[in-house]
Amino acid sequence: MKYIGEGYYYRVYEFDNGRVFKKLQPHWFSFRKIYSLARKRSGTSVIKSLFIAYKSTIEERENLSAMKNRLSSMPLSLFANPSFVKNSLDYTQEKVVIMEDFFLKNNLDQNKKAIDGYIEFQKKLWSYGIYDTTDKLQTNYGVNKQGDVVCVDFGEFVFTKEKALERIKKQKWLNRQSYKNWQDLELKNYYTECMAKTMTEENLSKYWPT
């Protein structure tokens, strides 16, 4: 088992069988990382940063538990076929090509198709009553061996239409650092146009279960 990286919530290892193992970080680790990030934001006080870190750490685990239960009634292939360790939020998952790497290795037409796949994926999530609040196309999504777009990080979803609509109205995807730093301007513009057409109250109502 080879260590390949980590984020605020998981440490990731690679197996030789084409899967990865995601080990949940300790509460203190996630808290410290998020607090540090919050403090770096201009004007964020110590108290507010502590609140953000506490709230985010708790909500992540609650969302992961909720998704773990929901996955029993959803196609696991949408999330790279995760398999949870018994009585745990640790899990294994198929290794995929993360979207930011996919974009570097492929041409504009192929990359546009991948964005189309991402857009359709969001609609599919909505049909299950799920909204992804991260808007992290480049890092939280990838392309599997079959060429399908899949989600590899599902810890920051919300499950009510009201919360989903709130996020859509704020257009958070335009404020993501990964979006601001996107070097391929033609692809960035295509993504921006696709999101503007798709992320609407009308579309959300169309796909969200009643």
Domain boundaries, the chain: 2-94, 97-207
153-198: per-residue pLDDT in tens? 988 899 999 999 999 999 999 998 899 999 999 999 999 999 999 9
Return the percentage of the chain with pLDDT > 90, whole number: 80
CATH of domain 97-207: 1.10.510
105-115: per-residue pLDDT in tens? 999 999 999 99
Residue 43, pLDDT above cutoff 80: no
Task: Please give the Cα distance from 98 to 20 (Å, whole number).
Answer: 13
- Plot region of 195 (φ>0 → left; ψ -120 to 50 → alpha; else → beta): alpha
What's the whole-model pTM score?
A: 0.91
pLDDT at 41: 77
SS3 annotation, 125-188: HHHCCCEECCCCHHHHEEECCCCCEEECCCCCEECCHHHHHHHHHHCHHHHCHHHHCCCCHHHH
CA geometry: angle 148, 154, 155, nearest 5 deg: 170
Q: How many residues does the chain have?
A: 210
118-167: per-residue pLDDT in tens? 999 999 999 999 999 999 999 999 999 999 999 999 888 999 999 999 99
